[in-house]
Structure 1
Amino acid sequence: MALNQRLDLRQGQSLVMTPQLQQAIKLLQMSNMELQAFVDQELERNPLLERDERPEVQKQAPDAPEGQTDMVSALAANTGAEERLRTLDTELENVYTHESRADAANRESMAPPPDSGWSSLRPQGALSLDADGLDFDATLTRQPTLAEHLTAQMHLVLGAPAEQLIGQHLIGSLNEAGYLTSDTASMAETLGTSTAHVEAVLARLQACDPPGVFARDLKECLALQLMERNRFDPAMATLVAHLDLVARRDYVALKSLCRVDVEDLKDMLAELRALDPKPGHAFGAEPVQPVIPDVIVRPSPEGAWIVELNTETLPRVLINNQYLARVSATAQRSEDKLYLSEAQANATWLVKSLDQRAKTILKVAREIVRQQDAFLMLGVQHLRPLNLRTVADAIEMHESTVSRVTSNKYMATPRGIFELKYFFTTAIASSDSGGDAHSAEAVRYRIRELIAAEGQSVLSDDTIVDRLKASGIDIARRTVAKYRESLGIPSSVQRRREARVQAAQ
């Protein structure tokens, strides 16, 4: 076969993601704090951008101050702005609506090198926000906070979405010392569940590291640490129950109450002093950052739900066209004119990207509220089965866009503040033809109820499957076993053994 060279002309279609479109997608998945930091950097970098510091009433007025434009209206004040606005709208809508896995892979492979720029006119100077970017600041480490340390363990200890919702509330109710500051009864009322449910989740979280967290007082904190060391015997329990005598150093009374001799009492007191009365302080080097919701949900007088963005988390920027006109008139060198053109294009793109981001978050949040209306009305056990595709199809967007919106975004509801991703649960099919699917959390709640009411007649997993199918829930035996284990409930053999022991006592 002869080898030769030739030149062919071919025509084809492909999606080319510019650095600015990549950054617009990255803006969508940023948290409000990350977005504020990013906008602050752009305000320092771009001389045409200004922070909107007008009062709220004036911000909603149709006319902006002379020489300044805000959000989408900024585009209309520039030369050729209407055509640019249509182009930006088309590009962003295509990205948010029709992005596919192949597009995402193409975008990752085309990620620009890291730099401090924002321009698409010079891709080699564009900023890379990808996780694999060679950003030196990203390599710096810090000690995890107490909330982060406990959240990582919570995902391993608690499997049900409803239990993780309760766990997040419990973690958010800890003070710097690691003590629980909220009452479980009021928390159960807020979440629409029983106090026993909250107490059960609390008992499992009290086994997390560091020992002693989630205690409600000093006695419980010390008791949890002693249990972790397997040293909480009756004598030690009596000693912990009389900490007032320990403080007064009334060793005679303590020796009598604990029924130990002097040497044993000294050893017990030494063990007590070795415990940490404030276990959370080991993670208290960094101040706790409060969660600021991106979306606020409140009931309306008509019985529906009002869903609105939290304006405090939305960065507001202006394009100063008066300053642009003044410096453009004095610019003589081609380098100066190119710099001003890039700064204007970057400012225009940032304003439009922020506006599109806000609209997308609000659209996704409204659909989540519509899907999870029963949870807002009745409580945590009424979470409906929901996935990304259901929301994406309802609002005519791609699943990847919904996934980015629900990451690091929080919603304030009458039930509390929740991350958007916690409203998504898996579905269990109905045994009735044409019946509605059941949420996995609702099925877990039903399994817990059946076992709690079994009494002396212990239910096997097969019996639970039969009863669930009788109530319209089509579920396999291995799924019941998995859910039962995630709830921390022992097998039927262990429950029968425990029942016989209790009966013998």
Structure 2
Amino acid sequence: MALSAKLDLRQTQALVMTPLLMQSIRLLQLTHIELEQFIEQEIEKNPLLERDDTTGEHFSPDERGFNTDRISGDEREFGRGAVGSDGEADNPLGGQADQWLMSGESTSSGSMSDTFDSSLENIFPDDPGTHDFIAGDLASQWKSSSGDGYLSTGGEGFNLEQVTATPETLRGHVAEQIIFAFASAGDRLIAAELADHLDESGYLRADVEEIAARFGVDAKHIEKLIAILQRFEPAGLFARDLAECLSLQLRAKNRFGPSMKILLQNLDLLAKRDFHSLKKLCHVGDADILAMLQEIQHLDPKPGTAFSSGIADSIVPDVQVDTASDGSWRIELNPDALPRVLINNSYYATIAKTKTSPAEKTFLSECLQSANWLTRSLDQRAQTILKVAGEIVRQQEQFLRHGVAYLKPLNLRNVADAIGMHESTVSRVTANKYMLTKRGVFELRYFFNAAIAATEGGEQHSSQSVRHQIKQLIDVETPDDILSDDTIVDLLKEQGIEIARRTVAKYREGMNIASSVQRRREKKAQASACKGDGKSGFIRHVGVEFC
């Protein structure tokens, strides 16, 4: 069969991802902070867009308050003073004010100094007749300038965050202590070099031999400097490992003895809760072992993280759920997380009437089209979030009323089919969105849980509720009746939950719960400590109680 080129006409359906559609999809999955940044960029580029800063009411599902019409300038009130019929502002002094202003009295610093027969600085420390002339680009940065700063506004609009001190860093905190700890300039130089090798946790990550060779000193001298640096605040800095970090903090508290030293040398046994071996090594009893364990748990394994400059973003819920007077659920969009943008139609009409070039008309038309798209997209985004949140509340009503034990299994497809949307749309809506309920603030993804099969064809259980039941079973166990993973499986089967042992182990480790062997060792040690007198060894020195 010979190959030949030919034309073929076919009719097919395909989804065309236009730039506006891609932008709308991206807008749907933006978080509150990312959406604010996006809107600020659009307002900066588009002269027809303005923010609506009206606040006060919460928008209900049927009345969200989306307006795209701009209030005309004639309808605004700028807070001017009352104006009389003659066009002059009302003044209690009447014409006397004008006479006083036109009387020729000079208010300059020179004339006032001659009048008072003294320097103006002795009378008025801040001369109101003088002004510091600062360039326009710098005037806004100085709160004491004569522009729109702090002094000119009487404190209104003063931004305290712009004048607060820079957050203290770990490097700066250590540098201040180095100045007073070392008398020799050479030692201060070496100490500064060692401080540069601190990681974010405050541990020293330096090669002592390499630094000693570079500075031409003995390695023992470097170790002496490190010993001095290890006495810096907070305790635990310049440690080489976890055991040394904990020992430095215990020395600072005067609670580092031979038994504690042996315990820190065997942290692997402590992690396994092998109290039997630790008692033999440390030559102490159960009460002392538990007292030392409690003392270690109150230490900071990463003392350098206290100087980290990271700022945690506060969570702003997108949806608020509350109980109505008739017992139903009232679902509202949070106005604080719902930016409102207005289109300045009056400005567009004014510019459109003027004589503009074709390029300017094209730019203005594109701005209007972009502004209309943004307002419609924000409205559509709010409606979609409201639909998804309403279906989640309907599906998880028992959780909102009775708690996590009643959380139902739910997936994205269930919600998508109920509201008539695609599963990917629901996935984008629930990403990094939060819901405020009477039980706290939850991410929308929290309500989606895998289904755990039920015994004998019963109702399925959510993975989150199963985790909650596992934790409840472990919390009530006694030292003589520690539940193994197999025992937990049997108990859950009695409650109608079909689950594998490896799944129980995975959920238990995810909740940071120790194994049954480690829990048995710890609880038996606590029971033995409660039966003893509690007046020997380390526990007498620390003064803690367990019963």
Query: TM range, normalised to the smaller chain?
Result: 0.5 to 0.7
Q: CA 1:499–1:416 in 2, change beyond 3 Å: closer, same or farther?
A: closer
Q: TM-score, normalised by structure 2?
A: 0.51
Contact 1:294 1:313 in 2 (8 A): yes
Alignment deviations for residues 265-317 of structure 1 (CA, whole Å, 9 cap, x no partner):
xxxxxxxxx98996443322x54432222222223233333221111222222
Alignment deviations for residues 334-393 of structure 1 (CA, whole Å, 9 cap, x no partner):
433332332222111111001000111111122222333333333344433222222222
How far has the Cα of 1:322 moved from its partner? 2.8
Q: 2: distance between equivalents of 1:476 and 1:45? A: 57
How far has the Cα of 1:15 moved from its partner? 0.8
Partner of 2:494: 470
Q: Which runs of 5+ in 1 are unaligned?
A: 69-175, 178-208, 213-220, 243-273
How many residues align? The count is 326
Partner of 1:343: 367
Partner amino acid for 1:229?
Answer: A
Contact 2:245 2:301 in 1 (8 A): no
How far has the Cα of 1:416 moved from its partner? 2.5
Partner of 1:110: none
Contact 1:222 1:277 in 2 (8 A): no
Could you say what secondary structure the match of 2:456 adopts? coil
Question: Given the alignment of the two structures, is residue 229 of structure 1 paired with residue 253 of structure 2, yes or no?
Answer: no
How far has the Cα of 1:443 moved from its partner? 1.6
Partner of 2:424: 400
Contact 2:201 2:303 in 1 (8 A): no
Partner amino acid for 1:47?
Answer: P
Q: CA 1:280–1:415 in 2, change beyond 3 Å: closer, same or farther?
A: farther
Matches within 5 A, 1:68-83: none
Partner of 2:507: 483
Q: CA 1:417–1:446 in 2, change beyond 3 Å: closer, same or farther?
A: closer
419-428 or 400-409, which moves further after superposition? 419-428
Q: 1: distance between equivalents of 2:399 and 2:447? A: 9
Contact 1:222 1:240 in 2 (8 A): no
Alignment deviations for residues 29-61 of structure 1 (CA, whole Å, 9 cap, x no partner):
111221121112111212222222456689959
Matches within 5 A, 1:19-418: 19-53=19-53, 228-229=242-243, 236=250, 239=253, 279-284=304-309, 286-331=310-355, 333-418=357-442
Q: 2: distance between equivalents of 1:389 and 1:59? A: 27
How far has the Cα of 1:409 moved from its partner? 1.6
Contact 2:70 2:344 in 1 (8 A): no
Q: 1: distance between equivalents of 2:418 and 2:340? A: 29
Partner of 1:89: none
Greater percentage in helix: 1
Alignment deviations for residues 173-195 of structure 1 (CA, whole Å, 9 cap, x no partner):
xxx99xxxxxxxxxxxxxxxxxx
Q: TM-score, normalised by structure 1?
A: 0.55
Contact 1:331 1:337 in 2 (8 A): no
Alignment deviations for residues 46-95 of structure 1 (CA, whole Å, 9 cap, x no partner):
22222224566899599955569xxxxxxxxxxxxxxxxxxxxxxxxxxx
Q: CA 1:405–1:476 in 2, change beyond 3 Å: closer, same or farther?
A: same
Q: CA 1:378–1:279 in 2, change beyond 3 Å: closer, same or farther?
A: farther
Percent identity between the two aligned chains: 50
Contact 2:405 2:469 in 1 (8 A): no
Partner of 1:153: none
Report which structure shows greater RCO (CA 8 Å, sep ≥6). Answer: 1
Q: 1: distance between equivalents of 2:428 and 2:492? A: 36
Question: Given the alignment of the two structures, is residue 444 of structure 1 paired with residue 444 of structure 2, yes or no?
Answer: no
Alignment RMSD: 4.1
Q: 1: distance between equivalents of 2:302 and 2:490? A: 49
Could you say what secondary structure the match of 1:432 adopts? helix
Partner amino acid for 2:8?
Answer: D
287-296 or 57-66, which moves further after superposition? 57-66
Q: 2: distance between equivalents of 1:277 and 1:15? A: 53
Could you say what secondary structure the match of 1:342 adopts? helix
Contact 1:24 1:353 in 2 (8 A): yes
Partner amino acid for 1:239?
Answer: K
Matches within 5 A, 1:420-459: 420-433=444-457, 435-455=458-478, 456-459=480-483
Q: Which runs of 5+ in 2 are unaligned?
A: 58-62, 74-166, 169-199, 204-233, 257-298, 530-547
How far has the Cα of 1:23 moved from its partner? 0.4
